[in-house]
A and B are shown apart, each in its own frame.
Chain A
């Protein structure tokens, strides 16, 4: 991958090819990233706080150790209910880097992810037309789940130690602990709990600390 790689990169990342003019150097470093896709989704749906961070470090010439963590705090309002959610999720795994020209990364890898979250329905109302409406609360419950991912990712340096990148994920749910009173919910970091497999796309901005 030489001259043509700049153009492939640029097409994949929708950026001008001139951005990719570094060459040659490889070094060890810790890259810390911030998940911009959470913030984007949040802006659209507008409920609560969701953050995600990621870190990766090359442990050998080709292999990177990667870890992500995220935090969600939201209140979701729907027909007759308010649902509050507090969750953390974490993912850890390894990436194999195919691209070895510089500190850019084109990688495939696997992750193990898990999430624990507590949810509480502060109040809900079900309409009952004949006898009278039913109101109730559901006390706080903690649920958990874990899953595996296969990830394809791209990271490229924009300018001194600042990188941008994206990852495409295929996820398989390993297990989940159901609440007795619900059949589907959003598992932070994974997706909807009623899907045994799902996909995801994230984009990030990173800062790399060379060693």
Chain B
């Protein structure tokens, strides 16, 4: 899961912002929405472990953008009780800028399920 938080830049100060009515799905999985007209500060995006590229479509009220991640999958043996979990290494990303102003990568090693990995500036 790549955790992306929304921000706005107002007069050179970043502020976390809640975005209303946003929907997200993975490219190729239009039938299954990750977020459906939701009001969120953070979107958690699952990477496709069987691929090295995953693209998401983010539908804002006014327009939509795509977010593409390039990644490698690293299985990690968490413990005898839990077995294996998936860690990812982000090697790059692209995005369109219809609504999104810019995106900043905070952490490229996706290992922790609650950390912020990405900042999306609107």
Chain A residues near B (Cβ < 8 Å):
76, 78-81, 83, 121, 124-126, 128-132, 134, 136, 138, 179, 181-186
**Contact (Cβ within 8 A) A136 B75:** yes
Give CA–CA (A128, B49) in the complex, Å. Answer: 8
The listed residue (B48, B50, B73, B84) touching A124 by CB distance below 8 A is B84
Nearest opposing residue in chain A for B73, CB measure:
A134
Q: Which 3 A-B pairs have the closest CB atoms?
A: A182-B77, A134-B49, A131-B48
**Contact (Cβ within 8 A) A184 B48:** no
Nearest opposing residue in chain B for A180, CB measure:
B74
Give CA–CA (A79, B84) in the complex, Å. Answer: 8
B-chain residues with CB within 8 Å of residue A83 when the two chains form the complex: 77
**Given contacts A130-B32, A130-B34, A134-B75, A79 and B82 within 8 Å (CB-CB):** yes
B-chain residues with CB within 8 Å of residue A130 when the two chains form the complex: 26, 29, 32, 34, 46
**Contact (Cβ within 8 A) A80 B77:** no
A-chain residues with CB within 8 Å of residue B80 when the two chains form the complex: 76, 78, 186
B105 sits at the interface (CB 8 A): no
**Contact (Cβ within 8 A) A181 B50:** no
B-chain residues with CB within 8 Å of residue A131 when the two chains form the complex: 26, 29, 46-51, 54
Quick one: which of A83, A126, A136, A186 has the most chain B CB within 10 A?
A126
Task: State the Cβ distance, B102 to closest chain A Cβ, in Å.
Answer: 26
Give CA–CA (A76, B50) in the complex, Å. Answer: 26
